[in-house]
Amino acid sequence: MLLSLSLVAAGFVLLTLGGDWLVGSSSALAARAGISRLVVGLTVVAFGTSAPELAVSISGAAAGKPDIAFGNVLGSNLFNTLAILGLSAAIAPLAISRRLFAFDLPVMIAASLALWGIAADGRVGRLEGLLLALGLAVYLAFQIRLSRGDPPPDPGEPPAPVRSLPRSLGMIVFSLAILVVGSQLLVRGASDLARAFGLSELIIGLTIVAVGTSLPEVAASVAATLRGHRDIAVGNIVGSNIFNIGSVLGLSAAVAPSGIAVAREALALDIPIMVGSAILCLPVFFTGRRVSRLEGWLFLASYGAYVAFLILDAQDHAALPVYRFLLTRVFLPLSGLAILASLLIAWRSGNAVTRAVSSPTPGGTTGAPPPA
């Protein structure tokens, strides 16, 4: 018991330090290389924090366990979108850049839909995996091209630390290693504690182990939010989802002898929920191009409801019919109404601002300030 508690404590410490160092080093890299923090979050941070998913999925596919590879991608993307984005927004509202909304979010949705279409026949073949990886390469090429026209940093943003380029790159690699080690320690210690308290392997697998490979994303996004670098926080989540589909699943399917088999349950439940959560970001991000605290809590509650449904369904629990009714007929409709209300408020606020600017003043001019 004492050893398990020590592992959990050590894991949390390493995740906290690694996340903070990764965000600081990434900000320094962006300042030194002359690219935006959003691009760094979408590429360097996203790819680095997806390293545990990549290692687990490729190992599972090569060992003839394709369900590990596919389930890891689905679970990580759901956790990224609902839990990490929700937690970050619950800490502080997240600003959404115009480019993220207009380009990267549609790419994430398109990748999710492409995954659904490819997996519809019950398998992701080796050629399809290579196509997913190729799509990721094209996306990265566009990112590099678009980054050349990025505007200068907002003067209101916290300044980035001043470091040399080699030092920034070295700190990023070191921080990623700390995150991987910290996540492994935390998962091992938490799993031992769960067994000590009599929790089943099912619950451990659905919660602790599934979330474990996404802990680097949690650490990086929360640290970025607390530091005020919220573009890195959102970019990390969107970029990680794109990397998980293009790199983690694509390369896993490419190395698997017969591709990646897709379970019928995943086609019926998990993939539609993953695609739905990605599409749900469109109206949420549209409301003033920000994710509010209320929306963050709704995302967190949605993830909790999803995990609870998985546990009840796997156990064929007697409460499953009642829970299914509450989830589909009460919780989801109320969440949808809350998001529609946010959209309506944002639309009315935008119209009010437009009317205030364009309305004539008593002097016959518009509400714009007079020239100096």
DSSP 155-196: TTSPPPP---HHHHHHHHHHHHHHHHHHHHHHHHHHHHHHHH
Domain count of the fold of the chain? 1
Structural domain includes residue 163: no
pTM of the model: 0.71
Structural domain includes residue 321: yes
Structural domain includes residue 115: yes
State the residue range of the domain holding 285. 36-147+198-350
With b meaning 16 or more CB within 10 Å and e meaning fewer, what string describes 209-244?
bbbbbbbbbbbbbbbbbbbebbbbbbbbbbbbbbbb
Structural domain includes residue 340: yes
pLDDT of 152-196, one tens digit each?
A: 445 455 554 556 677 777 887 887 788 777 766 766 776 676 667
For residue 291, which amino acid is it?
Answer: V
CATH number of the domain bearing residue 127: 1.20.1420.30
Structural domain includes residue 8: no
Mean pLDDT of 109-123: 92
Secondary element (H or E) of residue 290: strand 290-291
Neighbours of 165 (CB within 10 A): 11
Give the total residue count for the chain: 372
| pLDDT of residue 208 exceeding 70 | no
Nearest of 256, 261, 287 to residue 101 by alpha carbon: 287
- Say if CB 40 and CB 238 are below 8 A apart: no
pLDDT higher at 44 or 6: 6
Displacement of CA 200 from its chain's centroid (Å):
28
Structural domain includes residue 20: no
pLDDT of 297-351, one tens digit each?
A: 989 988 888 888 877 877 778 888 888 788 777 776 776 676 677 667 666 665 5
The rounded distance, in Å, linking the Cα atoms of 169 and 320 is 50
Structural domain includes residue 178: no
Nearest of 310, 267, 285, 268 to residue 79 by alpha carbon: 310
Structural domain includes residue 165: no
